Amino acid sequence: MRVAMYYNNQDVRLEEMPIPKIGPGELLVKVMASGICGSDTMEWYRIKKAPRVLGHEITGEIVEVGDGVESYKKGDRVFVSHHVPCNKCHYCIAGNHTVCKTLHSTNFDPGGFAEYIRVPRINIAHGVYLLPDEISFEDGTFIEPLGCVVRGQRIARVERGNTVVVIGSGICGLLHIQLARVQGAERIISTDINEYRLKAARKFGADYTINAKEDVPARIFEFNEERLADRVIVCTGAPEAMIQALQSVDRGGTILFFAPTEPRINTPIQLADLWTRGITLTTSYAAVDEDLKKSIELIRTRKVNVHEMITHRLSLAEAGIGFKLVADAKESIKVIIEPHRS
């Protein structure tokens, strides 16, 4: 089968691999669509394990069912979660599934930028979902990223009446804008340095947009009746964005660091200021069952418009183009690889 093998952001090669052989309790899935995530282009994170087949936002069709699998059958349309928790360790029981060691060690084989993947037994138990008829294969690639957004806003307690500032208007920023609206946010403000993305932010529900090169806290104060933001969601790893977030949150507010910085980057924090202003700092990583189920329902009911966020549909042979589009972060939103596209 054909795969897109990642070496670095400028070197993604079309190569051949054997179709994975499945064992008892496993599935073989024909990958129909696979989204390129921003994390796929974080070289500091990915290159240490290169070369490898990336891709974790996948939908497909089951083409082979291993002995003992009773919940799924050949021909089923599915979304498959790549990381799954054990659901029985101390962390899972406490609701902290995304720090479970099992979640960080599970995956399908190889990655989603391939014509076929093998789904291990544990992923079938905790991470395979039938696609509703209302969700196309390409729209289903948003289930995982939207699930991550659902989890993030649940942790940050985005609520009705909040003023929400989203720093960074890439794909996850746009999903955060839409979900904040569903959650009942009263006012949504989005920032970016790219006018193309600021225009997209307005299209997908931001009440106000701010070029991040401006005095962002001052503009928030202007738009928000002389208050800063109740919730600030940081969707970029730029160190400047972290400082901007600390300056943009109101007393009693919460900052969600949704995107990571590179390792070894230190962000100066004045703890006394956070203490006196009652600021909560929190993080979010990945998505688990309840987040993914909510994501599926939001897409199924069109409460979150994902279809219009797709800007590029490419073949495996064009995956290198897709990685460049996502890494450059200029005039693209969602780039999807369709492995069986000619």
Q: Evaluate whether 33 touches 89 at the Cβ level (below 8 Å).
A: no
CA distance 77 to 59: 7
pLDDT of residue 107 exceeding 90: yes
Residues facing 92 on adjacent strands:
none
The mean pLDDT value for 329-341 works out to: 96
Residue with tokens 């609206």: 181
Q: 150-283: CATH homologous superfamily?
A: NAD(P)-binding Rossmann-like Domain (3.40.50.720)
| Gap between the Cα atoms of 236 and 258, Å rounded | 8
CATH annotation of 2-142+306-337: 3.90.180.10
Q: Residue 71 — φ and ψ, nearest 5°?
A: -85, -15
Cα 15 from Cα 115, distance rounded (Å): 11
Specify whether the CB–CB gap between 221 and 249 falls below 8 A. no
For residues 179-200, give the mean pLDDT. 98
CA distance 145 to 35: 9
pLDDT at residue 265 is higher than 90 = no
DSSP 114: B
Q: Is 191 helix (H, G, I), strand (E, B) or coil?
A: strand
Mean pLDDT of all residues belonging to the chain: 97
Confidence of residue 306 (pLDDT cuts 50, 70, 90): very high
Please provide the DSSP assignment of 159-206 as one string. Answer: -TT-EEEEE--SHHHHHHHHHHHHTT-SEEEEEES-HHHHHHHHHTT-
pLDDT at 266: 86
Q: Each residue of 124-158: pLDDT tens digit?
A: 999 999 999 999 999 999 999 999 999 999 999 99
Half-sphere exposure of 21 toward its Cβ, with a 13 Å CA cutoff?
1
Q: Which two tokens stand for residue 100?
A: 């479970």
Q: What per-residue confidence (pLDDT) applies to 59?
A: 98
pLDDT per position as a tens digit, 33-59: 999 999 999 998 899 899 999 999 999
Q: How confident is the model at residue 272 (pLDDT cuts 50, 70, 90)?
A: very high
pLDDT at position 52 is 97
Higher pLDDT, 266 or 164: 164
**Is the full-model pTM beyond 0.95?**
yes
How does residue 264 score in pLDDT terms, banded at 50, 70 and 90? confident
Domain boundaries, the chain: 2-142+306-337, 150-283
Say what percent of the chain tops pLDDT 90. Answer: 96
Kindly write down the DSSP assignment for every residue of 196-255, as one continuous string.
Answer: HHHHHHHHTT-SEEEETTS-HHHHHHHHTTS--EEEEEE----HHHHHHHHHHEEEEEEE
Q: How far apart are CA 24 and CA 66, in angstroms?
A: 5
Q: How many whole angstroms separate alpha carbon 58 and alpha carbon 39?
A: 15
Q: How far is CA 178 from CA 81, 202, 207, 242, in A?
A: 22, 11, 11, 22
- CA nearest 302: which of 128, 186, 181, 197? 181
Note the pLDDT tens digit of each residue in 276-302.
999 999 999 999 999 999 999 999 999
Residue 80 confidence class, pLDDT cut points 50, 70, 90: very high
Under the banding of pLDDT at 50, 70 and 90, the label for residue 192 is very high
> Pairing state of beta strands 310-314 and 280-283?
unpaired
pLDDT at 267: 84
